[in-house]
């Protein structure tokens, strides 16, 4: 691996004595980052390709604002279990740098649960920690296991009501005027 590190390119001059660019600034910064990476890797004294790969991938910087926005906009899907939603919250919050991670996950669990009865249950009592919220979510799942399976969705009900048609001749529902003999 030290051969790989030593063969990395050396940093060129960016500007000559007259003040003109010798190299495109974007390329120069790329070279600078490569040189800096070489110094960091020499100091690590790692063994093996995977160790180097993991070290390099750990340098990646994250835009915390974007990660926090994704975290805040996460909503539970209608067919998703509560425990799965909580796991997603933990995964998304990993690089968000929240000061109190459990409190932030608890708040997002309450606001993103996307189930009115469960949300009311979580809001009805002032829960102090995430573990109590997890307990309520798991108990709610056990109690209401078949709750969502037989519920008629309002969208389908409205579709049915709006798509019934009346015969203009006799006034009865769901047949056209052609099928009624004229009197």
pLDDT of residue 153: 46
Domain count, the chain: 3
- Ranges of H-type helices in 73-177: 82-92, 101-112, 116-124, 130-143, 154-162
In this structure, the answer to whether residues 68 and 13 fall within a common structural domain is no
Same-domain check for residues 83 and 123: yes
Which range marks the domain in which residue 166 is found?
Answer: 152-183
Residue 152 confidence (pLDDT) above 50: no
Judge if 13 and 41 occupy the same domain. Answer: yes
174 — alpha (psi -120 to 50), left (phi > 0) or beta? left
Distances (CA, A) of 166 to 85, 157, 176, 181: 46, 18, 7, 15
Instruction: Give me the mean pLDDT over the 127-135 stretch.
Output: 79
| pLDDT tens digits, 39-67 | 777 777 777 878 877 777 777 777 888 88
């Amino acid at each position: 691996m030290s051969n790989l590190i030593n063969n990395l390119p050396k940093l060129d001059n960016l500007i000559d004595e007259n003040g003109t660019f010798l190299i495109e600034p974007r390329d120069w910064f790329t070279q600078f980052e490569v040189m800096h990476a070489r110094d960091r890797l020499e100091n690590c004294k790692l063994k093996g390709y995977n160790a180097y790969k993991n070290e390099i991938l750990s340098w990646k910087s994250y835009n915390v604002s974007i990660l926090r926005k994704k975290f805040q906009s996460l909503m539970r899907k209608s067919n998703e279990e509560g425990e799965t939603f909580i796991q997603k919250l933990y995964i998304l919050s990993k690089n968000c740098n929240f000061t109190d991670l459990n409190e932030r996950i608890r708040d997002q669990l309450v606001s993103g649960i996307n189930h009115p009865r469960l949300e009311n249950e979580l809001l009805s009592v002032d829960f102090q920690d995430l573990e109590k919220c997890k307990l309520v979510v798991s108990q709610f799942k056990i109690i209401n296991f078949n709750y969502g399976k037989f519920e008629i969705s309002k969208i389908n009900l409205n579709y049915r009501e709006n798509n019934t048609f009346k015969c203009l001749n006799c006034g009865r529902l769901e047949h056209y005027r052609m099928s009624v003999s004229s009197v």
